Amino acid sequence: MLPSFIKSLAVPLIAAAYAMGAANQLLEVTNFGSNPTKVRMFTYKPTNLVSNPALIVAMHYCTGTAQAYFSGTQYANLADQMKSFMVIYPHAPDSGGCWDVHSTETLTHNAGGDSLGIASMIRYAITNYGVDPTRVFATGTSSGAMMTNVLLGAYPDLIAAGSAWAGVPYGCFAGAGMWNSACAQGQLTKTAAQWGDAVRSGYPGYTGNRPKMQIWHGTVDNTLSYNNFGEAIKQWTNVFGYSTTPTSVQQNSPIQGWTRSTYGPKFQAISAAGVGHDIPVQASEVLAWFGLTGNSGTTTVDSSPGPGPTSTPTSTTTASGPGQTHWGQCGGNGYTGPTVCQSPYTCQVLNPWYSQCL
Protein backbone atom coordinates (compact mmCIF):
# COMPACT_ATOMS: atom_id res chain seq x y z
CA MET A 1 0.00 0.00 0.00
CA LEU A 2 1.44 3.36 -1.03
CA PRO A 3 1.44 6.21 1.51
CA SER A 4 -1.38 8.67 0.89
CA PHE A 5 1.00 11.54 0.18
CA ILE A 6 2.64 9.57 -2.63
CA LYS A 7 -0.74 8.75 -4.10
CA SER A 8 -1.64 12.43 -4.02
CA LEU A 9 1.43 13.30 -6.08
CA ALA A 10 0.47 10.94 -8.85
CA VAL A 11 -0.48 12.77 -12.04
CA PRO A 12 -2.96 10.84 -14.20
CA LEU A 13 -1.83 10.67 -17.81
CA ILE A 14 -3.28 8.72 -20.68
CA ALA A 15 -0.68 6.59 -22.41
CA ALA A 16 -2.36 4.79 -25.28
CA ALA A 17 -2.85 7.57 -27.81
CA TYR A 18 0.66 8.89 -27.39
CA ALA A 19 2.58 5.64 -27.09
CA MET A 20 1.29 4.37 -30.41
CA GLY A 21 2.65 7.47 -32.14
CA ALA A 22 6.29 6.86 -31.19
CA ALA A 23 8.20 5.00 -33.89
CA ASN A 24 10.67 3.30 -31.53
CA GLN A 25 10.71 1.90 -28.02
CA LEU A 26 12.60 2.88 -24.91
CA LEU A 27 16.03 1.30 -24.48
CA GLU A 28 17.44 0.76 -21.01
CA VAL A 29 21.11 1.62 -20.52
CA THR A 30 23.13 0.26 -17.60
CA ASN A 31 26.60 1.02 -16.25
CA PHE A 32 26.43 4.64 -17.34
CA GLY A 33 28.52 6.07 -14.50
CA SER A 34 28.29 7.03 -10.84
CA ASN A 35 24.82 6.12 -9.65
CA PRO A 36 24.71 5.65 -5.86
CA THR A 37 20.91 5.34 -5.57
CA LYS A 38 20.48 3.07 -8.61
CA VAL A 39 18.38 5.36 -10.80
CA ARG A 40 17.51 3.56 -14.05
CA MET A 41 18.26 5.12 -17.43
CA PHE A 42 15.95 4.75 -20.43
CA THR A 43 16.66 6.44 -23.76
CA TYR A 44 14.58 7.30 -26.78
CA LYS A 45 16.43 7.91 -30.05
CA PRO A 46 14.43 8.67 -33.19
CA THR A 47 15.39 7.00 -36.43
CA ASN A 48 17.79 9.17 -38.47
CA LEU A 49 18.71 11.32 -35.47
CA VAL A 50 20.97 14.17 -36.56
CA SER A 51 24.59 14.25 -35.46
CA ASN A 52 25.37 16.38 -32.42
CA PRO A 53 21.70 16.31 -31.26
CA ALA A 54 20.14 18.13 -28.36
CA LEU A 55 19.02 16.14 -25.30
CA ILE A 56 15.87 16.43 -23.19
CA VAL A 57 15.80 14.76 -19.78
CA ALA A 58 12.11 14.13 -19.01
CA MET A 59 11.27 13.11 -15.44
CA HIS A 60 8.13 11.42 -14.20
CA TYR A 61 5.83 12.20 -11.28
CA CYS A 62 5.38 10.20 -8.03
CA THR A 63 3.98 6.69 -8.66
CA GLY A 64 5.12 7.17 -12.25
CA THR A 65 7.72 5.39 -14.34
CA ALA A 66 10.01 6.18 -17.24
CA GLN A 67 7.60 4.26 -19.49
CA ALA A 68 4.58 6.19 -18.21
CA TYR A 69 6.18 9.56 -18.90
CA PHE A 70 7.35 8.37 -22.31
CA SER A 71 3.82 7.25 -23.16
CA GLY A 72 1.98 10.14 -21.52
CA THR A 73 3.89 13.07 -23.03
CA GLN A 74 4.71 14.06 -26.59
CA TYR A 75 8.49 14.36 -26.41
CA ALA A 76 9.18 11.07 -28.21
CA ASN A 77 6.65 11.89 -30.95
CA LEU A 78 8.19 15.32 -31.44
CA ALA A 79 11.66 13.78 -31.50
CA ASP A 80 10.46 11.49 -34.31
CA GLN A 81 9.13 14.47 -36.25
CA MET A 82 12.10 16.77 -35.76
CA LYS A 83 15.07 14.33 -35.63
CA SER A 84 17.06 17.03 -33.82
CA PHE A 85 16.98 15.73 -30.25
CA MET A 86 16.85 12.55 -28.22
CA VAL A 87 15.22 11.96 -24.84
CA ILE A 88 16.35 10.36 -21.60
CA TYR A 89 13.57 9.17 -19.29
CA PRO A 90 15.09 8.48 -15.85
CA HIS A 91 13.27 6.01 -13.58
CA ALA A 92 13.22 6.77 -9.85
CA PRO A 93 14.55 4.06 -7.51
CA ASP A 94 12.14 4.93 -4.68
CA SER A 95 9.42 2.31 -4.13
CA GLY A 96 6.76 5.01 -4.45
CA GLY A 97 8.23 6.38 -7.66
CA CYS A 98 9.20 9.75 -6.14
CA TRP A 99 12.52 11.53 -6.62
CA ASP A 100 14.99 12.35 -3.85
CA VAL A 101 14.79 16.14 -3.80
CA HIS A 102 15.45 16.51 -0.07
CA SER A 103 18.84 15.02 0.82
CA THR A 104 21.99 17.12 1.12
CA GLU A 105 23.64 14.73 -1.34
CA THR A 106 21.09 15.19 -4.13
CA LEU A 107 21.00 18.95 -3.58
CA THR A 108 24.79 19.27 -3.92
CA HIS A 109 26.92 19.04 -7.04
CA ASN A 110 28.52 15.60 -7.48
CA ALA A 111 27.70 14.64 -3.87
CA GLY A 112 25.30 11.76 -4.54
CA GLY A 113 21.57 11.16 -4.44
CA ASP A 114 19.27 10.67 -7.42
CA SER A 115 20.54 13.84 -9.07
CA LEU A 116 24.06 12.42 -9.48
CA GLY A 117 22.66 9.37 -11.26
CA ILE A 118 20.83 11.64 -13.70
CA ALA A 119 23.93 13.81 -14.16
CA SER A 120 25.86 10.65 -15.00
CA MET A 121 23.26 9.83 -17.66
CA ILE A 122 23.79 13.23 -19.23
CA ARG A 123 27.56 12.84 -19.21
CA TYR A 124 27.21 9.37 -20.71
CA ALA A 125 24.97 10.69 -23.50
CA ILE A 126 27.43 13.46 -24.34
CA THR A 127 30.30 10.98 -24.56
CA ASN A 128 28.55 8.04 -26.20
CA TYR A 129 25.77 9.58 -28.32
CA GLY A 130 27.49 12.77 -29.40
CA VAL A 131 24.93 14.97 -27.63
CA ASP A 132 25.68 18.68 -27.89
CA PRO A 133 26.78 19.61 -24.33
CA THR A 134 25.43 23.14 -24.80
CA ARG A 135 21.90 21.88 -25.55
CA VAL A 136 20.93 19.66 -22.64
CA PHE A 137 17.51 20.40 -21.14
CA ALA A 138 15.50 19.19 -18.15
CA THR A 139 11.76 18.97 -17.61
CA GLY A 140 9.31 17.08 -15.44
CA THR A 141 5.96 17.02 -13.69
CA SER A 142 5.27 17.13 -9.94
CA SER A 143 8.15 15.21 -8.32
CA GLY A 144 9.85 15.41 -11.74
CA ALA A 145 9.41 19.17 -11.65
CA MET A 146 11.09 19.23 -8.25
CA MET A 147 14.02 17.28 -9.72
CA THR A 148 14.14 19.76 -12.61
CA ASN A 149 14.71 22.48 -10.02
CA VAL A 150 17.35 20.36 -8.31
CA LEU A 151 19.28 19.77 -11.54
CA LEU A 152 19.28 23.46 -12.41
CA GLY A 153 20.66 24.30 -8.98
CA ALA A 154 23.14 21.47 -8.46
CA TYR A 155 24.24 20.97 -12.06
CA PRO A 156 24.09 24.34 -13.84
CA ASP A 157 27.18 23.28 -15.77
CA LEU A 158 25.22 20.50 -17.48
CA ILE A 159 21.76 22.01 -18.05
CA ALA A 160 21.00 24.81 -20.52
CA ALA A 161 17.33 25.31 -19.57
CA GLY A 162 14.54 23.79 -17.52
CA SER A 163 10.75 23.64 -17.58
CA ALA A 164 9.06 22.57 -14.34
CA TRP A 165 5.39 21.56 -14.16
CA ALA A 166 3.58 21.75 -10.80
CA GLY A 167 6.68 21.62 -8.63
CA VAL A 168 8.20 23.50 -5.70
CA PRO A 169 11.27 25.75 -5.34
CA TYR A 170 14.77 24.30 -5.21
CA GLY A 171 15.48 23.15 -1.66
CA CYS A 172 11.87 23.39 -0.48
CA PHE A 173 11.95 19.74 0.67
CA ALA A 174 15.50 20.03 2.07
CA GLY A 175 16.16 18.31 5.37
CA ALA A 176 12.91 16.35 5.38
CA GLY A 177 12.20 12.82 4.24
CA MET A 178 10.54 12.04 0.94
CA TRP A 179 7.69 14.33 2.00
CA ASN A 180 7.65 17.84 3.47
CA SER A 181 4.14 18.85 4.50
CA ALA A 182 5.05 22.48 5.21
CA CYS A 183 6.42 22.92 1.71
CA ALA A 184 3.66 20.94 0.01
CA GLN A 185 0.97 22.94 1.77
CA GLY A 186 2.60 26.25 0.84
CA GLN A 187 3.54 27.13 4.40
CA LEU A 188 7.27 27.49 3.76
CA THR A 189 8.09 31.08 2.85
CA LYS A 190 11.49 32.73 2.49
CA THR A 191 12.86 35.96 1.15
CA ALA A 192 13.96 36.08 -2.46
CA ALA A 193 17.58 36.24 -1.31
CA GLN A 194 17.18 33.17 0.91
CA TRP A 195 15.64 31.18 -1.92
CA GLY A 196 18.32 32.38 -4.31
CA ASP A 197 21.05 31.41 -1.86
CA ALA A 198 19.58 27.91 -1.74
CA VAL A 199 20.09 27.56 -5.49
CA ARG A 200 23.60 28.96 -5.28
CA SER A 201 24.47 26.50 -2.50
CA GLY A 202 23.83 23.62 -4.89
CA TYR A 203 27.19 24.15 -6.57
CA PRO A 204 29.43 26.16 -4.25
CA GLY A 205 31.88 28.36 -6.09
CA TYR A 206 30.15 28.04 -9.45
CA THR A 207 30.53 31.24 -11.49
CA GLY A 208 29.35 30.13 -14.93
CA ASN A 209 26.11 30.84 -16.74
CA ARG A 210 22.87 29.87 -15.05
CA PRO A 211 20.38 27.82 -17.07
CA LYS A 212 17.15 29.60 -17.88
CA MET A 213 13.98 28.45 -16.16
CA GLN A 214 10.28 28.19 -16.92
CA ILE A 215 7.69 27.19 -14.29
CA TRP A 216 4.02 26.20 -14.64
CA HIS A 217 1.42 25.80 -11.88
CA GLY A 218 -2.34 25.40 -11.56
CA THR A 219 -4.14 27.86 -9.30
CA VAL A 220 -6.23 25.16 -7.60
CA ASP A 221 -3.44 22.64 -7.04
CA ASN A 222 -4.33 20.93 -3.76
CA THR A 223 -1.30 18.63 -3.73
CA LEU A 224 1.57 21.10 -4.10
CA SER A 225 0.06 24.43 -3.10
CA TYR A 226 -0.08 27.27 -5.60
CA ASN A 227 1.80 29.30 -2.96
CA ASN A 228 4.90 27.47 -4.15
CA PHE A 229 4.51 29.20 -7.50
CA GLY A 230 5.03 32.58 -5.85
CA GLU A 231 7.96 31.30 -3.80
CA ALA A 232 9.59 29.90 -6.94
CA ILE A 233 9.16 33.25 -8.68
CA LYS A 234 11.00 34.90 -5.80
CA GLN A 235 13.73 32.27 -6.06
CA TRP A 236 14.48 32.40 -9.75
CA THR A 237 14.13 36.16 -10.15
CA ASN A 238 16.76 36.48 -7.41
CA VAL A 239 19.04 33.96 -9.13
CA PHE A 240 18.90 35.98 -12.35
CA GLY A 241 18.87 39.40 -10.70
CA TYR A 242 15.42 40.25 -12.04
CA SER A 243 12.64 42.25 -10.42
CA THR A 244 9.72 40.26 -9.05
CA THR A 245 7.54 42.50 -11.22
CA PRO A 246 7.24 40.94 -14.69
CA THR A 247 8.41 42.84 -17.74
CA SER A 248 5.46 41.51 -19.73
CA VAL A 249 2.21 39.66 -19.04
CA GLN A 250 0.29 37.72 -21.71
CA GLN A 251 -3.26 36.66 -20.98
CA ASN A 252 -4.67 33.41 -22.40
CA SER A 253 -1.18 32.16 -23.22
CA PRO A 254 -0.80 29.46 -24.28
CA ILE A 255 -4.33 28.35 -23.32
CA GLN A 256 -7.52 30.24 -22.53
CA GLY A 257 -7.36 31.28 -18.88
CA TRP A 258 -3.62 30.76 -18.50
CA THR A 259 -1.34 33.74 -17.88
CA ARG A 260 2.31 33.95 -18.92
CA SER A 261 4.53 36.38 -17.00
CA THR A 262 8.02 37.06 -18.31
CA TYR A 263 10.60 38.50 -15.94
CA GLY A 264 13.57 38.55 -18.28
CA PRO A 265 15.10 36.46 -21.06
CA LYS A 266 15.94 33.63 -18.66
CA PHE A 267 12.77 33.27 -16.62
CA GLN A 268 9.06 33.04 -17.18
CA ALA A 269 6.18 31.72 -15.09
CA ILE A 270 2.81 30.49 -16.36
CA SER A 271 -0.24 30.39 -14.07
CA ALA A 272 -3.07 28.06 -15.11
CA ALA A 273 -6.39 29.36 -13.76
CA GLY A 274 -8.72 26.68 -12.42
CA VAL A 275 -6.23 23.88 -13.04
CA GLY A 276 -5.29 21.35 -10.36
CA HIS A 277 -2.21 19.21 -9.87
CA ASP A 278 -2.80 17.27 -13.08
CA ILE A 279 -1.72 20.21 -15.25
CA PRO A 280 -1.56 19.14 -18.92
CA VAL A 281 2.00 19.41 -20.27
CA GLN A 282 2.42 21.64 -23.32
CA ALA A 283 5.31 19.80 -24.96
CA SER A 284 5.69 22.12 -27.96
CA GLU A 285 5.84 25.09 -25.60
CA VAL A 286 8.64 23.38 -23.71
CA LEU A 287 10.56 22.82 -26.95
CA ALA A 288 10.08 26.46 -27.87
CA TRP A 289 11.45 27.56 -24.47
CA PHE A 290 14.44 25.30 -25.03
CA GLY A 291 15.06 26.98 -28.39
CA LEU A 292 14.38 23.80 -30.37
CA THR A 293 11.39 25.31 -32.21
CA GLY A 294 9.90 28.82 -32.70
CA ASN A 295 9.41 31.53 -30.08
CA SER A 296 7.81 30.55 -26.79
CA GLY A 297 4.80 32.73 -26.15
CA THR A 298 3.87 33.24 -29.79
CA THR A 299 3.04 29.71 -30.92
CA THR A 300 -0.14 27.77 -30.25
CA VAL A 301 0.86 24.51 -28.67
CA ASP A 302 -0.02 20.95 -27.95
CA SER A 303 -1.26 19.38 -24.75
CA SER A 304 -0.69 15.97 -23.26
CA PRO A 305 -4.00 14.38 -22.30
CA GLY A 306 -5.77 15.04 -19.04
CA PRO A 307 -7.56 12.52 -16.83
CA GLY A 308 -10.33 10.44 -18.29
CA PRO A 309 -10.94 7.34 -20.44
CA THR A 310 -8.67 6.50 -23.35
CA SER A 311 -9.98 6.60 -26.88
CA THR A 312 -8.99 5.19 -30.22
CA PRO A 313 -7.31 7.87 -32.36
CA THR A 314 -9.06 8.82 -35.56
CA SER A 315 -8.33 11.54 -38.05
CA THR A 316 -10.38 14.20 -39.66
CA THR A 317 -9.59 16.64 -42.41
CA THR A 318 -10.41 20.32 -42.16
CA ALA A 319 -10.74 22.85 -44.90
CA SER A 320 -7.50 24.34 -46.16
CA GLY A 321 -6.67 27.96 -45.56
CA PRO A 322 -5.23 30.20 -42.86
CA GLY A 323 -5.18 28.58 -39.47
CA GLN A 324 -3.10 26.60 -37.04
CA THR A 325 0.50 25.82 -37.98
CA HIS A 326 2.18 22.42 -38.29
CA TRP A 327 2.19 20.50 -34.96
CA GLY A 328 -0.09 23.06 -33.30
CA GLN A 329 -3.23 22.11 -31.38
CA CYS A 330 -6.45 22.33 -33.40
CA GLY A 331 -9.10 20.80 -31.17
CA GLY A 332 -10.03 19.00 -27.98
CA ASN A 333 -12.36 19.32 -25.00
CA GLY A 334 -12.09 22.85 -23.61
CA TYR A 335 -9.90 24.05 -26.47
CA THR A 336 -10.84 27.49 -27.88
CA GLY A 337 -8.07 28.15 -30.42
CA PRO A 338 -7.90 27.68 -34.21
CA THR A 339 -9.54 24.53 -35.55
CA VAL A 340 -8.41 24.83 -39.17
CA CYS A 341 -4.87 23.78 -40.11
CA GLN A 342 -2.70 25.57 -42.61
CA SER A 343 -2.43 23.69 -45.91
CA PRO A 344 -1.28 20.96 -46.47
CA TYR A 345 -1.76 19.84 -42.85
CA THR A 346 -4.92 18.29 -41.46
CA CYS A 347 -6.36 18.23 -37.95
CA GLN A 348 -5.94 14.75 -36.49
CA VAL A 349 -7.87 13.75 -33.37
CA LEU A 350 -5.55 11.92 -30.96
CA ASN A 351 -7.94 11.78 -27.99
CA PRO A 352 -10.88 13.78 -26.61
CA TRP A 353 -8.55 16.42 -25.18
CA TYR A 354 -6.11 16.95 -28.01
CA SER A 355 -6.06 17.25 -31.78
CA GLN A 356 -2.94 18.24 -33.71
CA CYS A 357 -2.12 19.64 -37.16
CA LEU A 358 -0.13 16.90 -38.90
Catalogue the active-site residues.
Answer: 142
Q: Is 323 helix (H, G, I), strand (E, B) or coil?
A: coil
CA dihedral for 318, 322, 328, 334, sign (positive or negative): negative
Altogether, the residues listed in the chain come to a count of 358
Torsions phi, psi for 14 (to 5 deg)? -100, 125
Q: Which residues pair with residue 127 across a beta bridge? A: none
DSSP codes, 137-181:
EEEEETHHHHHHHHHHHH-TTT-SEEEEES---TTTTTTSSS--H
Phi-psi region of 274 (alpha: psi -120 to 50; beta: other; left: phi over 0): left
Torsions phi, psi for 253 (to 5 deg)? -135, 120
Distance CA 173, CA 176 (A): 6
